[in-house]
Structure formats: structure tokens, C-alpha cells
């Protein structure tokens, strides 16, 4: 079976409990740079102290201007103080802010890198079942938004929300100490109403933003899937159909974004109404204080400056709150990927697979099913002796390729054991099991890189001479050398610039370069013409000498020299023996041989 339609395993229910849980998971990544965090916080406080000092300086300057015109002190006191004091405070505010961002940039980027790398490694550690069920476009979008969400979350919280809260605290303290308590109460009431209104409306409109993100991921998934299957779209002339599907997703995205924009306009209007009302109330009370002689003109200017400094960042509170919530949602989605349980995991204390050469491989009463109600392998037992070749033949769907997947531990068997050199592969480190195996799959997929890169993928770090030697053994060196760029020729997305036979020979070269003690050939020459097939079969036969080899074949002529041939049907071994013994048996193998010979 090539496609199994299985669903991915459920995500553990204890993995998330809201935004605070997401934040608590982010903090350890930032705390790796704790000294940078502490210094950045100190610089942030310094910037806000300097910023709050500006209105205080303006008050002193305006009050000092009560000197009579023509007094020589006016030239010395007012312009000098204004230029030096105001400039110094403004410079300090900017300098502290820039230093804070400079100091904290390494922590931000370091945390983003660590989480992205950990997610990437975890995705590679997940089982084949997960990757067959995933939607690549939507998943990559989730990771991309999650990494961006880390930077946005830190930027909006540390650089906007927290500094604003510090400034609000400082301003309220000054108002309460220097003037009557009503100034502080008006400010507190306005801020409380403003924050409550912003949070409530933002929570209400978050569903539109979340909906827009879902439609965005769906549109991206459809676009990526369609472009990856470009040839299939062209074969069936379905360009208009694909465009309609994509446009339907874009239309849903457009409608959800329009709703989000409409609700944003309502939010902004309400915020401005609260700000304007509070500002009028504060200035009315300050003006009355000046008229009554309780306050100076400098006090009036200072209060106005405080309110402007407070409400300018608060204008963006709705945007900041929404972005922080969205960043937390995006980050939580990436943590959800990281929390997905590994179906195939090493047992605690697992040791490396110990090999002294080509090992024997034993399938002992193995039963396996991708889905519980549809068994694929039923009580399979056979041995591939060390250094020998065993072939498996049979109709499509009989379970042949599943044997290879189980050897690589893409899945674990439900019953029975698979042993290599006498060791149960479920009890040893799976990375060492895969290191001992090499495969030439029937469906070869290459990286969108050069021919040299794809061959060298079998053994990263191999020399050019070794790469060319593997290419010669796979009978593809002459073709590569004939191209304008040689081994630097790009193979395109999934290797689509190469023919099926060329891709298969690159896959053979890649496995030959790896040179593992156990080989698996899954229809390794199915895409080759007869002449190349015979030549490569000879090469593979030579390479297989003294290696434990499993050959999965449809063409029986390619396995006549196997040590043993297994005939599978419906997940069971119905015949076994060498070529001559199976022909003499006059059973299923003999009829398949006769049918293929007559066809040839």
C-alpha cells in the first residue's frame, strides 16, 4: 500500500492551557540570555524616566519665563536650559531605547532560532503516519507565523506595553503628589475604561482575525499543492479548476479581512472618544487651577504634555493587544507541533545497533496494520542470511513495500519482532538502524538542488571523486558530464527536471555512495530501459556481494539469482524457495513467470 489515509495521532490534552502557558514556555528560551534581559529592562526604565522628565523640565522653563523682559538673566536661563536640558533628555530617551533594542536583539533572535530549530528537528522525529496526513503548505505557514510571532510578541510587549505601564505609573505618582488626587483619579478612570473597551472589542474581533488566518493557510495550502502538482494539472487541463479553488479561498479570506477592518474602525473610534473626553476633563481642571491661582501656567503645560505622552502609545493599544494575542496564538500553534507525541521513539537507555559486518535480518511472526480494521502483514516469518539476497514478489497491495518501511522503523510492528544481528530493532537506537540501511525506492524524490548534492546526500562530506565513482557505478556519469553544468546541474523541484530513469539512477548512486551493510531495492530499476536495466542489475549484483539485501520486485527476471524468493499475497507468504524450486512447484510464482515470459 502506497497511501493509507491514516489520521494523525491525537495531540495530548495537557499540552496547553491558554496564553500564560504559552508565555511560560517562551520564557526559558529568553532566560538563556538573562543578563541581556536584565540590562534591557534597566535601559527601558532609564528611557521612561528620561521621557517623563521632559514635561517636568518644560514646566520649570515656562515658570522661569516670569522674568521681566530685558533682564540679562533671560538670555542665560531660558535658552541655555531649554537647549541643553531638553536636548539631553530627548537624547537620553532615544539612546536608552536604541541601546535596549541592541542589547535585547540577540536574545530575541536567539530564542526564535532555538524554537524554530527545535520544531524542525521534532518534525523530522515524527512518524511517517504524521507526514502522510499533513498539509505541507499550512504547516509551513504555521511555523513561519510562529517564528515571526516570537519577534512580534517580544517587540510589542517589552518595547511597547511594559514601557507604557511604567510611564503610566510614574505619571500617576507625579500627578497625585504634586496636585490634587482628582487628576490621578481622572487618569486612572480614563485608562481603565480605555483598556476595558480595547480588550473587550479586540476579543470580539479576534475571531475575524483567526478566521482570516485559517483562510490564509487554506489558500496557501491549495496554491502550494497545485504548484507542486503542476504536471498533473496540465495533463488534465484543470488550470481553470485550480484557479477557481484558489479564488474561492481568496474570496473567503477577503470577506473575513473586511469584517476585521470594519471592527477595527469601531475600535479606533471608541478609543478616540475616551481619550478626548479624558483630555478635556484634565485640561478643564488644570485651567481652573491656573485661574484660581493654585497652579501655574507651567503646571498646565506639563499636564497637557503628560496626557499627550500617555495617549499617543495608548492609541496603538488595540493594535498591540491584538498583535500580542495573535502572536501568542501563532506561537501556541508552533508549540502544538512540538508537543505532538512521537509515535516511534527510542526506549529509555537504548544502545546503538552493534554490527560486525553484514548482519542477518529476521522477521519473526510479524503482523502489522496501518489501521486496526485492515491488516497489511499477517504472521510473516523469514530470514535474510548475512551477506545473502532475499527477494519478495507478489501483486500490488500484498505488503511488499511495508516490509521495507518496518525495517527502517517508520512504523513499529504490532506483533512479532524484527531482528538485525540478533538485536530487536525496537530496543536499539533507531538512528543507528537507519544508518545501517540503504534503499533505492521505487518513487524517487530528489531535493531541489544540484545533481552532486543529491548523490552526496548518501554520505555528506564525500569527495568529488567518490561522488563520480558512485555515478559511474549507477551508469549516470556520462549523462551528467554531457550537460552544460555537469554535476552542478539543478534537478528542479522533487527532481522533475530529470526523467524517471535518470532520477532512479541518481537514487542508486546515492545509496551506493552510502555503502551500508544492508541494502533494500524497492523496484530499483523499474523506470529504466532494458539495456540500462541489465547493466545496472550487474552493478547492483556486484555491490550486493557480501551485503544483506532485500529486493522487492515486480519483474521476476531481476530476482532469479536470489538466495530465496518469497511470494506474497494479501499480507501472507504463500510460496518460498529459489527460482528453480518455485518453477518446479508449478504454483503462483510459476504462473507469474510464464505470464511475464509470454509478455516479453
The CATH number assigned to the domain holding 415 equals 3.40.50.300
283 within domain boundaries: yes
Question: How confident is the chain (600 residues) per 10-residue block, as mean pLDDT?
Answer: 37 47 72 76 79 76 61 54 67 76 75 76 68 60 72 72 77 78 81 84 76 79 81 81 86 83 81 82 80 78 77 68 74 74 78 85 90 84 89 85 87 88 89 87 81 88 88 85 88 77 83 88 66 65 79 82 88 89 88 79
pLDDT on residue 489: 86
Rounded to 5 degrees, φ, ψ at 323 are -65, -40
Q: Is residue 572 part of a domain?
A: yes
In a domain, 577, yes or no: yes
Asked if residue 8 is part of any domain, the answer here is no
Residue at 282 is within a domain: yes
Count of beta carbons in the 10 Å neighbourhood of residue 421: 21
Q: What is the pLDDT of residue 73?
A: 54
Question: Which of 281, 305, 339 is the C-terminal boundary of a domain?
Answer: 339
Task: Give the angle subtended at the CA of 551 by the CAs of 548 and 554, to the nearest 5°.
Answer: 170
Answer yes or no: do 214 and 316 share one domain.
yes
Residues 410 and 267 both lie in one domain: no
Same domain, 243 and 369: no
In a domain, 6, yes or no: no
In a domain, 468, yes or no: yes
Residues 591 and 491 in one domain: no
CB-based contact 184:176 (threshold 8 Å)? yes
Q: In this structure, are 490 and 572 located in the same domain?
A: no
Asked which of 487, 514, 541 is the last residue of a domain, the reply is 514
pLDDT computed for residue 14 by the predictor: 38
> In this structure, is residue 593 part of a structural domain?
yes
Contact 9, 129 (CB under 8 A): yes
Question: Are residues 228 and 316 both part of a single domain?
Answer: yes
Best CA proximity match to 366, nearest among 330, 316, 415, 317? 415
CA 380, CA 283: separation in Å to the nearest integer?
A: 87
- Interatomic CA distance for residues 124 and 560, integer angstroms: 38
CA atoms within 13 A of residue 213's CA, in its CB half-sphere: 19
Same domain flag for 71 and 153: yes
CA atoms within 13 A on the CB side of 531: 1
Q: What is the pLDDT of residue 10?
A: 37
In this structure, are strands 564-569 and 415-420 parallel, antiparallel, or unpaired? unpaired
The rounded distance, in Å, linking the Cα atoms of 501 and 484 is 20
Let me know whether 66 and 89 are in one domain.
Answer: yes
CA dist 584 and 276 (Å) reads: 98
Q: What are phi and psi of 492, to 5 degrees?
A: 80, 175
Pairing of strands 518-522, 548-552: parallel
Domain hosting 493: range is: 447-514
pTM of the model: 0.60
d(CA 489, CA 244): 36
| Domains identified in the chain, total number | 3
pLDDT of residue 309: 74
Whether residue 311 sits in one domain with residue 243 = yes
Q: Are residues 494 and 566 part of one domain?
A: no
Residue whose C-alpha is closest to residue 367's, from 416, 404, 426, 425:
416
- Shared domain for 376 and 419, answered yes or no, is yes
Q: Domain boundary at 339, 374, 400, which?
A: 339
- CATH assignment of the domain containing 254: 1.20.1560.10
Amino acid at each position: 500500500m502506497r497511501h493509507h489515509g491514516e489520521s494523525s495521532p491525537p495531540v495530548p490534552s495537557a499540552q496547553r492551557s491558554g496564553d500564560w502557558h504559552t508565555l511560560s514556555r517562551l520564557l526559558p528560551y529568553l532566560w538563556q540570555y538573562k543578563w541581556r534581559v536584565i540590562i534591557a529592562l534597566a535601559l527601558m526604565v532609564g528611557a521612561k524616566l528620561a521621557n517623563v522628565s521632559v514635561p517636568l523640565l518644560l514646566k520649570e522653563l515656562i515658570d522661569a519665563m516670569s522674568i521681566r523682559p530685558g533682564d540679562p538673566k533671560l538670555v542665560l536661563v531660558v535658552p541655555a536650559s531649554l537647549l541643553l536640558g531638553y536636548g539631553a533628555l530627548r537624547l537620553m530617551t532615544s539612546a536608552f531605547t536604541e541601546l535596549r533594542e541592541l542589547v535585547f536583539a540577540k536574545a530575541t533572535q536567539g530564542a526564535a532560532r532555538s524554537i524554530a530549530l527545535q520544531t524542525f528537528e521534532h518534525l523530522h522525529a515524527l512518524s511517517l503516519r504524521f507526514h502522510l496526513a499533513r498539509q505541507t503548505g499550512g504547516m509551513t505557514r504555521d511555523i513561519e507565523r510562529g517564528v515571526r510571532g516570537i519577534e512580534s510578541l517580544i517587540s510589542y510587549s517589552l518595547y511597547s506595553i511594559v514601557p507604557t505601564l511604567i510611564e503610566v505609573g510614574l505619571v500617576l505618582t507625579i500627578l497625585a503628589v504634586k496636585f490634587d488626587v482628582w487628576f490621578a483619579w481622572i487618569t486612572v478612570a480614563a485608562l481603565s475604561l480605555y483598556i476595558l473597551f480595547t480588550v473587550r472589542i479586540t476579543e470580539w474581533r479576534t475571531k475575524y482575525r483567526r478566521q482570516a488566518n485559517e483562510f490564509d493557510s487554506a489558500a496557501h495550502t491549495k496554491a502550494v499543492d497545485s504548484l507542486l502538482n503542476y504536471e498533473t494539472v496540465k495533463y488534465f487541463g484543470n488550470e481553470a479548476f485550480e484557479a477557481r479553488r484558489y479564488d474561492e479561498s481568496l474570496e473567503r479570506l477577503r470577506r473575513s479581512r473586511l469584517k476585521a477592518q470594519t471592527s477595527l474602525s469601531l475600535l479606533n473610534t471608541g478609543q478616540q472618544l475616551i481619550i478626548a473626553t479624558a483630555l478635556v476633563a484634565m485640561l478643564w481642571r488644570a485651567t481652573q487651577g491656573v485661574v484660581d491661582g493654585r497652579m501655574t501656567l507651567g503646571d498646565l503645560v506639563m499636564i497637557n504634555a503628560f496626557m499627550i505622552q500617555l495617549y499617543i502609545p495608548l492609541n496603538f493599544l488595540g493594535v498591540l493587544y491584538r498583535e500580542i494575542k495573535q502572536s501568542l496564538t501563532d506561537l501556541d500553534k508552533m508549540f502544538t507541533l512540538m508537543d505532538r507525541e512521537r509515535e516511534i521513539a527510542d526506549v529509555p537507555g537504548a544502545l546503538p545497533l552493534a554490527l560486525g559486518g553484514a548482519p542477518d535480518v529476521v522477521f519473526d511472526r510479524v503482523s502489522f496494520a496501518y489501521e486496526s480494521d485492515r491488516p497489511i502483514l499477517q504472521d510473516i516469518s523469514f530470514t535474510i542470511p548475512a551477506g545473502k539476497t532475499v527477494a519478495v514478489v507478489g501483486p500490488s497491495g500484498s505488503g511488499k513495500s511495508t516490509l521495507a518501511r518496518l525495517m527502517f522503523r517508520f512504523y513499529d510492528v504490532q506483533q512479532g519482532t524484527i531482528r538485525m544481528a540478533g538485536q530487536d530493532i525496537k530496543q536499539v537506537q533507531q538512528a543507528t538502524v537507519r544508518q545501517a540501511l540503504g534503499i533505492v525506492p521505487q518513487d524517487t524524490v530528489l531535493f531541489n538542488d544540484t545533481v552532486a548534492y543529491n548523490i552526496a546526500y548518501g554520505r555528506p562530506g564525500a569527495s568529488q571523486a567518490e561522488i563520480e565513482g558512485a555515478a559511474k557505478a549507477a551508469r549516470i556519469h556520462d549523462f551528467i558530464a554531457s550537460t552544460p553544468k555537469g554535476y552542478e546541474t539543478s534537478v528542479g523541484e522533487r527532481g522533475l527536471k530529470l526523467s524517471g530513469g535518470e532520477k532512479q539512477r541518481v537514487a542508486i548512486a546515492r545509496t551506493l555512495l552510502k555503502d551500508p551493510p544492508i541494502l533494500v531495492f524497492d523496484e530499483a530499476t523499474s523506470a529504466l530501459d532494458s539495456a540500462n536495466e541489465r547493466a545496472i542489475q550487474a552493478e547492483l549484483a556486484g555491490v550486493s556481494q557480501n551485503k544483506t539485501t532485500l529486493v522487492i520486485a515486480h519483474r521476476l527476471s531481476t530476482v532469479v539469482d536470489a538466495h530465496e524468493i518469497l511470494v506474497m499475497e494479501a499480507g501472507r507468504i504463500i510460496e518460498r524457495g529459489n527460482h528453480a524450486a518455485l518453477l518446479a512447484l508449478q504454483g503462483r510464482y510459476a504462473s507469474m513467470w510464464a505470464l511475464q515470459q509470454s509478455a516479453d
